[in-house]
């Protein structure tokens, strides 16, 4: 899938968070890394149609996305979005969280939606959690169910905003395993992450966002081996400081 950003900028009042972000890449799996406050979430929300940029264009496979409420609504239904935490509806069970978008956003029949949802839960070893409410689930289970919801409607693109940064290491592993498996099936993903190992091994490409722009981008196999910019080198030094 080709993702094209043309000079995307975003300001909140006086504060400019993204300035002139441009990108034109063929993407299957892309990792977005960078220091906190760099504008990664803002960029991801723009790509997901959740936030309208102050300026610039977004094109998916060469087709321009108009930032009108009507077109964005249709666009969002073709994209899966996974939040950092608390990404499930509090008042619905795990199963209902997965079926609600299928029924109400995609117009699937209830029985079909339930079938799709339970098949996904079984596939990822979550069948016992289907009737639990979010407050009864561990952080890792919540994230995996969020991912189930996001992929249930066969999105053309899955976006994940630091899906493991609120988790313990062993829970992080179970979420990343699930993601790795989904990526192997050919699902296009963009993931904001601090898991350098995952970015390196599981993601084909990577972009480094810092200070509201993309400072470096390329194949993950090459980019990590030989950082071209000081920002990336400094960032890697910092995140890998305690890495053994």
Interacting residues toward ligand ADP by CB under 6 A: 12, 15, 17, 36-42
Beta strands in 172-228 (DSSP E): 189-192, 205-210, 213-219
| Integer angstrom CA distances of residue 44 from 86, 158, 244 | 17, 11, 30
Closest contact distance (angstroms) between CB of 147 and other proteins is 13
Say how far apart CA 120 and CA 66 lie, in whole Å: 33
Applying CB under 8 A, among 20, 133, 139, 200 the residue interacting with other proteins is 133
When CB distances are held under 5 to 8 angstroms depending on the partner's kind, the choice from other proteins, ligand ADP, Mg ion, none that residue 37 binds is ligand ADP
Cβ-closest residue to Mg ion?
A: 41
Q: Closer to other proteins at the Cβ: 34 or 101?
A: 101
> Under a CB-based contact definition with an 8 Å cutoff, are residues 58 and 81 in contact?
no
Say how far apart CA 23 and CA 8 lie, in whole Å: 9
CA dihedral 227→230→233→239, nearest 10 degrees, is -140
Closest contact distance (angstroms) between CB of 40 and Mg ion is 5
Say how far apart CA 79 and CA 129 lie, in whole Å: 25
Say how far apart CA 177 and CA 170 lie, in whole Å: 11
Closest contact distance (angstroms) between CB of 20 and ligand ADP is 15
Closest contact distance (angstroms) between CB of 127 and other proteins is 20
How many residues are recorded in the chain? 244
Applying CB under 5 A, among 5, 31, 33, 41 the residue interacting with Mg ion is 41
Which residue from 194, 217, 221 is spatially nearest to 207, judged by alpha carbons? 217
Q: Closer to ligand ADP at the Cβ: 39 or 140?
A: 39
When CB distances are held under 5 to 8 angstroms depending on the partner's kind, the choice from other proteins, ligand ADP, Mg ion, none that residue 100 binds is other proteins
Closest contact distance (angstroms) between CB of 161 and other proteins is 10
Q: Closer to other proteins at the Cβ: 137 or 215?
A: 137
Look at residue 83 and give its three-state secondary structure: coil
Does residue 101 belong to the site contacting other proteins (CB under 8 A)?
A: yes
Does residue 89 belong to the site contacting other proteins (CB under 8 A)?
A: yes
Say how far apart CA 143 and CA 148 lie, in whole Å: 9
The count of residues interacting with other proteins (CB under 8 A) is 26
Neighbours of 109 (CB within 10 A): 10
Applying CB under 8 A, among 10, 144, 149, 205 the residue interacting with other proteins is 149
> Under a CB-based contact definition with an 8 Å cutoff, are residues 44 and 192 in contact?
yes
Applying CB under 8 A, among 23, 57, 59, 77 the residue interacting with other proteins is 77
Q: Which residues bind to other proteins, rule: CB under 8 A?
A: 48, 50, 73-74, 76-77, 79, 81, 83, 86-93, 100-101, 104-106, 133-135, 149
């Amino acid at each position: 899938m080709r993702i094209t950003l043309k000079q995307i900028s975003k300001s909140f009042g006086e504060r400019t968070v993204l300035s002139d972000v441009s990108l034109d890449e063929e993407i299957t799996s892309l990792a977005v890394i960078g220091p906190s406050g760099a504008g990664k979430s803002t960029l991801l929300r723009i790509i997901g149609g959740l936030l309208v940029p102050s300026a610039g264009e977004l094109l998916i496979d060469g087709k321009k996305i108009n930032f009108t409420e009507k077109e964005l609504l249709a666009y969002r239904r073709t994209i899966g979005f996974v939040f950092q935490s608390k990404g499930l509806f509090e008042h619905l069970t795990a199963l209902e969280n997965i079926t609600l978008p299928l029924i109400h956003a995609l117009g699937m029949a209830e029985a079909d939606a339930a079938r799709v949802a339970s098949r996904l839960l079984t596939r990822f070893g979550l069948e016992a959690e289907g009737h639990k409410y979010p407050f009864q689930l561990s952080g890792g289970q919540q994230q995996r169910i969020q991912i189930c919801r996001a992929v249930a409607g066969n999105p053309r693109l899955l976006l994940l905003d630091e899906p493991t940064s609120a988790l313990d290491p062993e829970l992080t592993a179970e979420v990343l395993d699930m993601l790795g498996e989904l990526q192997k099936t050919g699902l296009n993903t963009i993931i904001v992450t601090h898991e350098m190992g995952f970015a390196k091994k599981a993601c084909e490409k990577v972009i480094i966002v810092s200070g509201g722009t993309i400072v470096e981008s390329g194949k993950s196999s090459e980019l990590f081996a030989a950082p071209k910019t000081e920002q990336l080198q400094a960032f890697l030094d910092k995140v890998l400081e305690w890495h053994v």
